[in-house]
Amino acid sequence: MKRSILIWITILFIIPVGLLLAQNTTVTYIEGDPRIKNNRGTIESLDYGAQLATGESVITGKKDLVELDQGNSATIRIKPNTVFTIREIEQGGQKEQVLSTITGSVSMRFNRLAGKEPKIGTVSTIAGIRGTEVTIFAGPDGSSLFIVESGLVSVSAAGQTVELGAQEAVEVPAGGPPGEKFSVIGRELDFSKWSQGKAEELLADPLSSLDRSAALLAQFKAGLEEWVSNYEKARVESEAAAEQMKSMTDKEAQNKYRDEVWFPLALQTGNAILNYRYYTLSALSLRRFVLGPLYMQVRTRNILHQDGSYQEFMNRYQEIIKDFQTTFEPYTNSTDY
Amino acid sequence: MNKKNTLKTSTALRWIALLLAAALFAGCSLTGETIRDRIDKFITAINNQDPQGIKDCLDPSAASYNTASTLAFWDTFFNDRPYAIASFSQSGNTATVHFSGSNGSDLPMVFSMTENQGTLLSGTTYSIRRITYNSQTIFE
């Protein structure tokens, strides 16, 4: 019990997210049935227009989505299977808000014209933000992943700093320095090092680790579905343009059509493929390097003693793998394995 | 007579060994490839619908190395198969290639290649680092 409380407190401090001047935080958009854990400790339905106070948490289920606004200075998008909390700390004699993603994923957009620019940070990770859209994944092993869509972010952890520009990302292992930054355009997320040396942390609560992986897979699934849909639309137009181009007999007209009509459509289609493959391969990496080793460890450690929680783990694991097979596998091929 | 023949053979072998050593020392290779060779392999893999063959031609350090390794991606741009190389020009490690499709369509692309230094025996090979069309990037 003490161990699980310690882990929970550690996660709360390790998975960082933001540091802002105290602001009113209003619920501006709701999908599904998200909950709020208020300062009295009770959990209630979250209503549109509600004000989120310091110390309160928003909890989303697998079909929920919540958007919060802090005046015109920040928009916070809380994705499915996430717990998001506003905390308050004192820095330089001034009380400031800390936006914390405890588990799951949150995207934030900050308006650079709206006063003081925010900081993101906790004990292990501090990030300064300048006019930024940033997404933070709370990894299944307690690591965090920063993905910058626009603006600049300076991520510091364990005494080292990495500067991120638009379309760049960095992984920060729990308690460790930021890794090498990488471009998020085209390159899938690599989970091969996420679990290294973290086996005990993952195994301390295998079901929670499984749920956190499932939450990440749900994010990838949403991205995949969005881009497959975009791809299907673009493909129809691109193929029609290709047929039209082939039927043209005047070479000059054909080349003009190729450059002005067909190629922009083909490029749009190709980019949609790269994007849906990004989500597919990120999910495949998560399965291979986080879920697979977790399953093997739990199975090996419980070979002689298989209680109810073991069965619960196995059932949940099979459910996640089945969902992976139907969702992601159709978009993989032999070169991915 | 036998001694004379043996001397001739020995001298010839020495000359051959010397020439081979000089060729290898000068950077030539017995088994290396040219940029044109690599692009030939690439378009052959596309014509044969061979995803592994396509992936083998790409530079692993390219951001889209894995995500682009699917036929759906390449078929979007190469939709008039089979293709042949209609014209090829090279400047440094960049090649401008015009492919002609089965209907006679013309597909101009610029390939930026990574030069991979092998051993003296394996020689230099090339992999595709970037492909552009009208200055717009298809793959990198």
| Cβ contacts of A259 on chain B, cutoff 8 Å | 134
Tell me if A190 is assigned to some domain: no
Q: Which residue has the higher pLDDT, A186 or A335?
A: A335
Element (H, E) at A201: helix A199-204
Residue B41 has pLDDT above 70, yes or no: yes
Contact A255 B133 (CB under 8 A): no
> Is A194 inside any structural domain?
no
Residues pairing with A329 in the sheet: none
How many structural domains are present in chain A? 2
CB A203 within 8 A of CB A293: no
B100 contacts in chain A (CB < 8 Å): none
Note the CATH number of domain B31-139. 3.10.450
Name the pTM for this structure.
Answer: 0.61
CATH number, residue A38:
2.60.120.1440
Residues A171 and A238 in one domain: no
Same domain assignment for residues A289 and A332: yes
Burial class (CB in 10 A: 0-12, 13-18, 19+), A219: buried
* Interface list for A 277-296 with B (CB within 8 A): 277-278, 281
The complex scores an ipTM of 0.80
pLDDT score recorded for residue A128: 60
Measured CA to CA, the distance from residue A80 to residue A216 in angstroms comes to 9
Same domain for A157 and A204, yes or no, is no
Give the integer Cα–Cα distance in Å for A77 and A83.
Answer: 12
Same domain, yes or no: A176 and A75: yes
Domain end among A154, A185, A216: A185
Domain-located, residue A104: yes
Q: Does A176 touch chain B (CB under 8 A)?
A: no
Tokens of B112: 């930026």
Domain that holds residue A166: 2-185
More confident residue, A51 or A149: A51
A51-52 and A144-157 beta bridge pairing: unpaired
Neighbouring C-beta atoms of residue B30, cutoff 10 Å: 11
A97 found inside a domain:
yes
Read off the pLDDT band of A96 (50, 70, 90). Answer: low
| Residues A318 and A176 grouped into a single domain | no
| Residue A89 and residue A176 in one domain | yes
Q: Which of B52, B105, B106 to probe the A interface (max A CBs under 10 A)? A: B105
Q: In the listed set A185, A210, A233, which residue is the last one of a domain according to the structure?
A: A185
- A6-10, A333-337, B29-33: range with lowest mean pLDDT: A6-10
**Domain coordinates of chain B in residue numbers?**
1-28, 31-139
Cβ within 8 Å, pair A266-B51? no
In a domain, A193, yes or no: no
